[in-house]
Structure 1
Amino acid sequence: MDTIKSYQAVIKQVISEYAKFRPSHGNIHLEPIFDDVNSRYALMQFGWDRDRRVRGNLIYVSIKDNKVLIEYDGIESGITQDLIEKGIPERDIVLAFLPEFQAV
């Protein structure tokens, strides 16, 4: 399997695992969004918590130039270690939400 397809599979596996969780309060749903054509992956949340609408992304990851760019990571413990444990080398993960894109 080539690098991109391997990274896509790992990212989808990690996001799918997080999508199984349920928030401890509110009526909030988690929905994974996978776009293999453009190598973009997200975990979206939507629903209600008390009288407030909840919506937005929890995770947004893309692949560019054989690097996994973590564009947004709203998971408490972060997804970086999960990606590494599933086989993506640390040198290929970039924390794109930090100034000047810092490698892990």
Structure 2
Amino acid sequence: MARIADYPIYIEEILRNYGQYTPAYGDVEVETVIDREQQHYQLLTVGWNKDRRVWGCIVHIDIKGQKIWVQHDGTEEGVANLLVEKGVPKQDIVLAYHAPYKRQYTGFAVN
């Protein structure tokens, strides 16, 4: 079972792995944004595709209290699933992109 002190390490590892991918279109970069002090973690796309600006958040995760809050997850496999594979208990992961009343049905923490 993972320890809370290991959660930032797991999150950073997952984001860095996703950050290695290069979008198949335009002049677009993937940026990993890590704020260890405030415990905010993001993976962003930024650049241009022809004459259109590209910017978007792929993943946004916060650590609040003793839990990992997945604020946004634009990945196919789901970062919460990857965290569970690393030993993080489901009760320590909140899928914050679901409405609070729906979280009880996710199998993860409610808050």
Higher-Rg structure is 2
Distance 1:3 1:82 in 2: 15
Distance 1:50 1:21 in 2: 20
Deviates more, 1:80-89 or 1:52-61: 80-89
- Residue 93 of structure 1 is matched in structure 2 by 93
Distance 1:50 1:31 in 2: 20
Matched residues, percent identical?
33
Count of residues paired in the alignment: 103
Task: In structure 1, list runs of 5 or more residues that go unmatched.
Answer: none
| 2:31 equivalent to 1:35 | no
**1:1-104 equivalences in 2 (<5 Å):** 3-100=3-100, 102=103, 104=108
Contact 1:67 1:92 (C-alpha < 8 Å) held by counterparts: yes
Shift of 1:87: 2.1
Shift of 1:50: 2.3
Distance 1:83 1:17 in 2: 13
Distance 2:48 2:14 in 1: 25
Shift >3 Å, 4+ stretches: none
Measured against aligned partners, the alpha-carbon deviations of 1:12-58 in whole angstroms (never above 9, x if no partner) come to 00000000011121211011111111111000110111221101211
CA root-mean-square deviation: 1.7
Contact 1:10 1:87 (C-alpha < 8 Å) held by counterparts: no
Contact 1:3 1:66 (C-alpha < 8 Å) held by counterparts: no
